Structure 1
Amino acid sequence: MTEAHAHDTAVSSGGRPRVVLGVSGGIAAYKAAELLRRFTESGHDVTVVPTAAALEFVGAPTWAALSGKPVATDVWTGVHEVPHVRIGQEADLVVIAPATADLLAKATHGQADDLLTSTLLTARCPVVFAPAMHTEMWEHPATRANVATLRERGVLVIEPAEGRLTGKDTGKGRLPEPDEIFEVCREVLTRGTTTPDLAGRRVVVSAGGTREYLDPVRFLGNRSSGLQGHALARAAAARGAEVTLIAANVTLPDPAGVKVVRVETTAQLREEVVAAAASADSVVMAAAPADFRPVSVSDAKIKRAADGSAPPIELTQNPDILHEISTERARTGQVIVGFAAETGDDTGSVLDLARAKLARKGCDLLVVNDVTGGAVFGSPDNEAVVLGADGSAVEVPRGSKSALAHVIWDQVAARLS
C-alpha cells in the first residue's frame, strides 16, 4: 500500500483482473452488492472480504452468491493457504466500499486485526477507499488527518457524496453511487499504477453546453452532451486530484469523488469557472459555451405571427471565458486547456483554424475535434489532436473518451511538474 510502481494486471491474473472488494461495517454496505455485480459482470475475478461488522448488514451468503467464492472475515479460515498474505499479494486492485471512519483509522495506523486490514498491509497494487459515514465523522480532525496520511502514501481516497444519510440526516458522507465507484476503479486498473500523479492538485473541468433563453420555454443551445467533460473529471479523480466539475445542462450521473456545480447560461458558467479557477492548478474548458445570446429575453412565450412571419432576434456576443482565464491567470504555473470543435472551410483546414485559435485564446493546450457531420457529439468515442502552445502536437486515435481524457491529463501533469 505504500509502494508506487507499475502493476501489470494482465500478467498477474492471466488477463482477468483480480479485485479484492473490502466491505466495512456501515449501513451503505448494501450498496456494495451492486458494485460487486458490476465487477463480476464485466469479467473481473472478485474476492469479497467483509469485516465482522459488515456481516451484520449483509450476510456472507449474499457475498458468496454474487462473487462465486466463499467468504471469510478472519485469518483462520483456510489457514493453510495463508489468506492474510496471499489475497493482498495476488490482487490487482483493492477497493474498500464502504470505508468507515474506523477502517480508515486502522489502515492509517497499520493495524491488522482481521483479514481485511491484514490484506491492506500486504497489497502492493492500487488501493481505493470509498468512505461513507455521517458528516460529523467525515469532518472530524482525526478522520481528515487519516485521509491526508493515506493520500500521501499514494492511496486513492474518493471524496464522499452529499445527500441523504442514515435517518433524516443529510450532508457530506454519503457513499457515491456504485456505478461511479466502478468507473473510478476501472480508470485505476486501466492506468495500472499505484501513483496518483495529480494527488494534491486542484483541477476545474467544465462540461456540457450552455443555453441562452429567448423566452421562458425556448433557448439557443448546442449539441454538447457533457460526456467528455465527465470523462475528464472522472479520470482526474482517479489520478488523485481534487476536482470541481462545472456542468452546463448535463443529465449524466455525478462522477464519484467530484464536486459538481450546475449552471445553465454562459454568464453563469463564466462566474463559476472564474471563481473556481482562483485556487486551481489546472482548468480544462471542455464545455461548449454559446458564442451569442439574445439582447433581450421575452417574459412571455413568443407567439406565432398570423401572417407567418418570424420575429427578429438580435444577438450579442457572450464573454470569451477561455481567453479571459488564459490571459488573466489566477495563479502562477496554472495550466489552461481549451477545446476546439472545428470544421474546415475555405479559410483553412481544421488544424489551421485550431492553431490560430490556440494563439488567439492564449491557453497552454487546445484539444481539437473535427466535428464535420456532427461527429463526436453524444458519442462514447472520440479522436483528437492535442496542440500545445510550445508547438507540440499529440494525435489521439479514435477510442474512448476516457482514453482521450488520460492523454490530456498526461499533458497537463507534465506541465505542472
Structure 2
Amino acid sequence: MLASKRILLIIGGGIAAYKVLDLIRRLRERGATVTPVLTRAGAEFVTPLSVSALAGRKVYSDLFDLTDEAEMGHIELSRSADLIVVAPATADLMARMAGGQADDLASTLLLATDTPVLIAPAMNVRMWQHPATRRNIAMLRGDGIGFVGPNEGDMACGEFGPGRMAEVSEIVAGIEAVLSAGPLQGRRVLVTSGPTHEPVDPVRYIANRSSGAQGAAIARALAALGAEVVFVTGPASVPPPGGVAVVCVETAREMLAAVEAALPVEAAVFAAAVADWHVAGASARKLKKDAGGLANLEFAENPDILARVAGMKKGRPRLVVGFAAETDNVVENATAKRARKGCDWILANDVRHETGIMGGAENAVTLITGEGVETWPRMGKDQVARQLAGRIAAALA
C-alpha cells in the first residue's frame, strides 16, 4: 500500500522519539521512501547517524543550510512528499503549528506545505489536558491536520493518563489510511453531529442527550474512504475525528449557517440532533427565581436544516441522508419523516431510555430508502458508520 510513497518525517523532541527508529524501518519495509527532518530537540533523543542509517537518506535539520537553500530546499522538501508525518508531536511543536510560526526547518516546512499532515502527539498528561493545548488541538483539527493517538498509559515521568505516543503499528495504519486512494477520494461530503444548545439566558440552555458519537464515527469512516469531510458539530461530549475540517457551533441557527457555508458537497449526512425550538427573545441576563413564580418561556421554531438542504432547487447534494430518533412506531414515523423532509435516505433508531442508544456505544438502525426498508443488527457505532460509509461510496460511484 505504501510502495513508492514519499513520506517526510519530522522528529520532535521527546522520549518517544526512540519509537521513530522502528517507524522508519516499518515504513521502508512497506516500500515507502522516508525523508527525515530532525529538530534540535529531537536530536537530544536520537542521533542523526542512527536516523540516516535507517532511512537510507540524508537527515535535514538546519533551515539555513546554504547548499539546500540556494534552491529553496525547504520549499522543495515540503512539496515533494505525499504525506508529512510529525512524530513525536510535542506540545511545543503543536503550539508553533497552531500559531503559524516558522522559526526552524520543521515549522517552516509545515507552514509552507499543501501536503496532508498527520501528527502523533506525545507529552505529559497534564500538558495534554491543559486548556492551551486543547485550544491548539481544536485549531489544528480545524485546519485539517490528522491525528493518531495519543494513547493512555504509563509515562516516562512516572504519571499515567492520555499523552503517550501511539504505537508504531498504529501510526503505520494511520499513514496507510491517509495515503490509500479510497472510493471517495476527491469527493466532498458534509456531516452534522452532536446536539445543539439553545440559550435561555447566559447560564442556562435547552439541549438533548446526544453525545455526537455516531456523527463523529460517520465522519471518520467517510474520511477513511478518502472523502474530504466538512464536520459541523454542536457541543458534543466526544472529540471530533482527525483528518476532517471541523466547524463548531452552538445553536441550530448557527448550524444552518455553517451547513450553507460548506455547500456545495456531493453527499450530506445530517446526524446532528438539532433542537426543534429555541427560546424566543432569550434573556441577556440570568433569570431570577421570584418567590412563588415560574419563568414564562416563549418558544419559536428552529430552521429545518435537513428539509432546507433536501429541498434545494440548485446545488442540492446528490445524496441527502437524515436521521430519525424515535421512541415509538419507529419505522412508520421515520418513513413519514423521509417523505416530509424530501431526503434520499433516512436512518431510524429507537432512542427510548432503556435501549441505551442515545449517548451509548452501540446503535441499532433501520435504513429507509426509496427502494425499501432494511434493518441492521445492533452493533458498535463505528461499525454502523463504516457500513453507512460503504453504502454512500457505492451510491456515489
- Please give the range of the TM-score, normalised by the shorter of the 2 chains: 0.5 to 0.7
Alpha-carbon distance in 2 for matches of 1:224, 1:32: 39
Which of 332, 346, 360 is the equivalent residue of 1:379? Answer: 360
CA distance 1:305–1:56, shift in 2 (3 Å): closer
Alpha-carbon distance in 2 for matches of 1:48, 1:55: 20
The equivalent residue for 2:195 is 209
**1:409 Cα deviation from its structure 2 partner:** 1.6
**1:177 Cα deviation from its structure 2 partner:** 3.8
Paired residue secondary structure (1:355):
helix
**1:327 Cα deviation from its structure 2 partner:** 0.7
Alpha-carbon distance in 2 for matches of 1:385, 1:411: 14
Paired residue type of 2:149: D
The equivalent residue for 1:342 is 326
Kept after mapping to 2: 8 A contact 1:60/1:71: no
Superposed counterparts of 1:218-297, under 5 Å:
218-276=204-262, 278-297=263-282
Alpha-carbon distance in 1 for matches of 2:266, 2:171: 21
Alpha-carbon distance in 1 for matches of 2:18, 2:321: 33
Paired residue type of 1:315: F
Paired residue secondary structure (2:378):
strand
Q: Is 1:314 equivalent to 2:303 in the alignment?
A: no
Paired residue type of 1:178: V
CA distance 1:75–1:160, shift in 2 (3 Å): closer
The equivalent residue for 2:396 is 416
**Unaligned segments of structure 2, at least 5 residues:** 29-33, 58-73, 87-93, 121-131, 134-138, 151-164
Alpha-carbon distance in 2 for matches of 1:246, 1:262: 6
Q: CA offsets per residue over residues 345-392 of structure 1, 9 Å max, x none?
A: xxxx2111111111111111111111112622222222211211x223
Paired residue type of 1:366: I
The equivalent residue for 1:179 is 149
Paired residue secondary structure (1:394):
strand
**1:159 Cα deviation from its structure 2 partner:** 7.2
CA distance 1:281–1:187, shift in 2 (3 Å): farther
CA distance 1:262–1:75, shift in 2 (3 Å): closer
The equivalent residue for 1:325 is 309
Paired residue secondary structure (1:338):
strand
CA distance 1:71–1:329, shift in 2 (3 Å): farther
Which of 393, 397, 401 is the equivalent residue of 2:377? Answer: 397
Paired residue secondary structure (2:208):
coil
**1:400 Cα deviation from its structure 2 partner:** 2.0
Kept after mapping to 1: 8 A contact 2:218/2:382: yes
Alpha-carbon distance in 2 for matches of 1:289, 1:397: 25
**1:75 Cα deviation from its structure 2 partner:** 5.5
The equivalent residue for 2:182 is 196
**1:102 Cα deviation from its structure 2 partner:** 5.9
Kept after mapping to 1: 8 A contact 2:271/2:323: yes
Which of 331, 342, 346 is the equivalent residue of 1:366? Answer: 346
Kept after mapping to 2: 8 A contact 1:205/1:244: yes
CA distance 1:186–1:416, shift in 2 (3 Å): same
Kept after mapping to 1: 8 A contact 2:232/2:259: yes
Superposed counterparts of 1:28-67, under 5 Å:
29-30=12-13, 33=16, 47=26, 53-54=37-38, 58=42
Kept after mapping to 2: 8 A contact 1:206/1:286: yes
**1:318 Cα deviation from its structure 2 partner:** 1.1
- Of stretches 398-407 and 318-327 in structure 1, the one that deviates more from structure 2 is 398-407
Alpha-carbon distance in 1 for matches of 2:260, 2:224: 24
Paired residue secondary structure (1:340):
strand
Paired residue type of 1:408: L
CA distance 1:174–1:366, shift in 2 (3 Å): closer
Alpha-carbon distance in 1 for matches of 2:311, 2:171: 33
CA distance 1:158–1:334, shift in 2 (3 Å): farther
**1:272 Cα deviation from its structure 2 partner:** 0.9
Alpha-carbon distance in 2 for matches of 1:330, 1:184: 42
CA distance 1:31–1:272, shift in 2 (3 Å): farther
Alpha-carbon distance in 1 for matches of 2:174, 2:339: 33
CA distance 1:52–1:326, shift in 2 (3 Å): closer
Superposition CA RMSD, Å: 4.4
CA distance 1:175–1:331, shift in 2 (3 Å): closer
Kept after mapping to 1: 8 A contact 2:265/2:317: no
**1:250 Cα deviation from its structure 2 partner:** 2.2
**1:321 Cα deviation from its structure 2 partner:** 0.8
Paired residues in the alignment total 321
Alpha-carbon distance in 2 for matches of 1:53, 1:34: 12
CA distance 1:53–1:319, shift in 2 (3 Å): closer
Kept after mapping to 1: 8 A contact 2:324/2:334: yes
Alpha-carbon distance in 1 for matches of 2:223, 2:12: 22
CA distance 1:195–1:328, shift in 2 (3 Å): same
Structure 1 length normalisation: TM-score?
0.63
Q: Is 1:357 equivalent to 2:337 in the alignment?
A: yes
Identical aligned residues as a percent: 31
**1:394 Cα deviation from its structure 2 partner:** 3.3
CA distance 1:340–1:410, shift in 2 (3 Å): same
Alpha-carbon distance in 1 for matches of 2:8, 2:55: 13
Paired residue secondary structure (1:397):
coil
**1:285 Cα deviation from its structure 2 partner:** 0.7
Paired residue type of 2:267: S
Kept after mapping to 1: 8 A contact 2:118/2:147: no
